[in-house]
Amino acid sequence: MVGRRSSTQELPTRRRILSHFKEHDPKMASVIQKVGPLRLQRNRNYFVVLCRSIVSQQISVAAADTIFTRFHKLFDGQAPTPDRVAGLREASLRAAGLSRQKVAYLKDLSRRFLDGTIRPRQLTYLGNEEVVDRLTGVHGVGRWTAEMFLIFSLNRLDVLPVDDLGLRVAVQNIYGMKVRPDAKRLRAIGGKWSPLQTVATWYAWRSLDAKIVNY
């Protein structure tokens, strides 16, 4: 593990954001000016963030919201926790709209928290790639899910989720591309955004949907 250092960063000021993007990417700067202040919310309930990311895989935002609401109701007003999820019957989770595969993923995630394979406090002191490596050891947790965790739980400022469909669609729109950019093209664009790739990603999402993105 790396030396103990702060895992989270203060959100940059609007002045710093606009200064950076006006210099390095005027098109993104224009989006930022239209959208308004950065409102990246940090969710410190790491287990819930990961549960929601698993629920959200490969389905629309609306469908994910519906299923996660049903999932949350299974706990009678209490927050989902590793022991509570581990104790639920598969049939209950399936009735909430979860696939058999996602049920297995949630159960494995719960076990990893309960047996100490994933230690939330330790995650906060790992570098980005170390966090990705730790989380992708869970069945069903891929790089995209780990990147959502970096963005919404740790508020890391330089994360570029190149496999995120919303980001690809937004970038295509913002830059007037004829085809949706692939991962290689996104990384090239993201190079101009660094070290504020997370910020640009958040604004790109907002350009598609005015609703504030959070987990």
DSSP 8-state secondary structure symbol assigned to residue 213: P
pLDDT (tens digit per residue) in 71-126? 999 998 898 999 999 999 999 999 999 999 999 999 999 999 999 999 988 998 99
Q: Are 132 and 194 within one domain?
A: no
The amino acid at residue 145 is: T
Range of the domain at 167: 14-41+158-208
Count of structural domains, the chain? 2
- Are residue 88 and residue 123 in the same domain, yes or no? yes
Tell me whether residue 124 is in a domain. Answer: yes
Sign, CA dihedral 176-177-183-186, equals negative
Dist CA 160 CA 171 (whole Å): 12
Measured CA to CA in angstroms, residue 96 lies from 72, 85, 160 at distances of: 9, 13, 31
CATH number of the domain encompassing residue 199 = 1.10.1670.40
Please say if the pLDDT value at position 5 is more than 60: no
Please tell me the total number of residues recorded for the chain in this structure.
Answer: 215
| Residue with tokens 């209490």, as numbered in its chain | 78
The helix (run of H) or strand (run of E) holding residue 105 is helix 100-114
Say which residue, 200 or 76, is predicted with more confidence.
Answer: 200
- Does 148 lie in the same domain as 50? yes
pLDDT at 9: 65
